[in-house]
Amino acid sequence: MAGPLALPPLVSITAGSGNLGVVPLNPREIAPGAFLLSRYMTLAAQRLLVDECRTLMDGEVPAYVPVVRGGGSMHVRMLCLGRHWNGKLYRYEPTRSDFDDRPVLPLPNHFRALGRACAASAGMSLDPDLCIINYYDASGRMGLHQDKDETARSIAAGLPVVSISLGDTARFLFGGMKRRDPVESMALESGDVFVFGGPARLRYHGVSRVVPATSPAELALSGRLNLTFRQYDL
Ligand code: SIN
Ligand code: MN
């Protein structure tokens, strides 16, 4: 097994033959309850995660472009692990009833541990039971929205959403509790982790664009992958 990727590793998780070491860097508080962990993941760990996401997204239960409630298609390819998010009904379910009725893939233990470790680095606790992987190509984006399909208890407890960015830089929009509140535009770069919980849990957010050709060459990734870890219930 590979040794630690950087010092001091907060957590050492194996994925395939590699080691998903993550390093705690200074969390920057963007707003109460919202933290940016810049370059949190080492390049080696990013590579492992990118490879794993690619394999999953092109595997037996593949990623797809969800059609949402209003009838429009999302501008990402999505794959859920642990629980499936149904984009037509805005709720979680065990099978992909809005697409192909297949059972959702399980959340691997090391994904769960990674989500937990990221939250802990921002001073929050989370025991995720689901992860949504989104792939953004050069025209990928996501409109302003709140993440509010987890249980009322989970949201009220302020359990955070942990977001890991890989590949091309995203222009990430982080707003307030109302859609019309002012938004801050932030660059989320490869390896960055953004955690929003507590009083920030229901803040509006979205991705206005990805910046092409900004991905580290070592990832051999054109476009952007984003993983969000959530805990459905307490
Ligand atoms: C999301 O809001 O679910 C994804 C955000 C991102 O891609 O950074
Ligand atoms: Mn979201």
Q: Give the CATH number for residue 45.
A: 2.60.120.590
**132 part of a folded domain:** yes
Distance 203 CA to ligand 2 centre (A): 9
**175 part of a folded domain:** yes
Over residues 113-126, mean pLDDT? 95
Distance 145 CA to ligand 2 centre (A): 6
Q: Is there a contact between 197 and 161 (Cβ–Cβ < 8 Å)?
A: yes
**99 part of a folded domain:** yes
pTM beyond 0.85: yes
**1 part of a folded domain:** no
Give the pLDDT score at 76. Answer: 98
Q: 70 vs 22, which has greater pLDDT?
A: 70
**201 part of a folded domain:** yes
Query: Could you give the percent of the chain with pLDDT greater than 90?
Result: 88
Query: Could you give the percent of the chain with pLDDT greater than 70?
Result: 89
Please tell me if the CB atom of residue 207 comes closer than 6 angstroms to any atom of ligand 1: yes
Output the 3-class SS for the chain.
CCCCCCCCCCECCEECCEECCECCCCCEEEECCEEEECCCECHHHHHHHHHHHHHHHCCCCCCECCECCCCCECECEEEEECCEEECCCCEEECECCCCCCCECECCCHHHHHHHHHHHHHCCCCCCCCEEEEEEECCCCEEEEECCCCCCHHHHHCCCCEEEEEEECEEEEEECCCCCCCCCEEEEECCCCEEEECHHHCCCCEEEEEEECCCCCHHHCCCCEEEEEEECCCC
Give the pLDDT score at 17. Answer: 46
pLDDT one-digit tens code per residue, 89-99: 999 999 999 99
**6 part of a folded domain:** no
Q: For residue 8, is pLDDT > 90?
A: no
Give the pLDDT score at 25. Answer: 61
Give the pLDDT score at 90. Answer: 96
**Domain interval for residue 104:** 28-230
Over residues 167-187, mean pLDDT? 98
Distance 60 CA to ligand 1 centre (A): 24
C-alpha span between 142 and 28 (Å, rounded): 24
Q: For residue 3, is pLDDT > 80?
A: no
- Total structural domains within the chain: 1
C-alpha span between 184 and 202 (Å, rounded): 15
Residue 26 binned pLDDT confidence (cut-offs 50, 70, 90): confident
Among 201, 207, 210, 224, residue to substitute to test ligand 1 (most atoms within 8 Å of Cβ): 207
**214 part of a folded domain:** yes
Please tell me if the CB atom of residue 169 comes closer than 6 angstroms to any atom of ligand 1: no
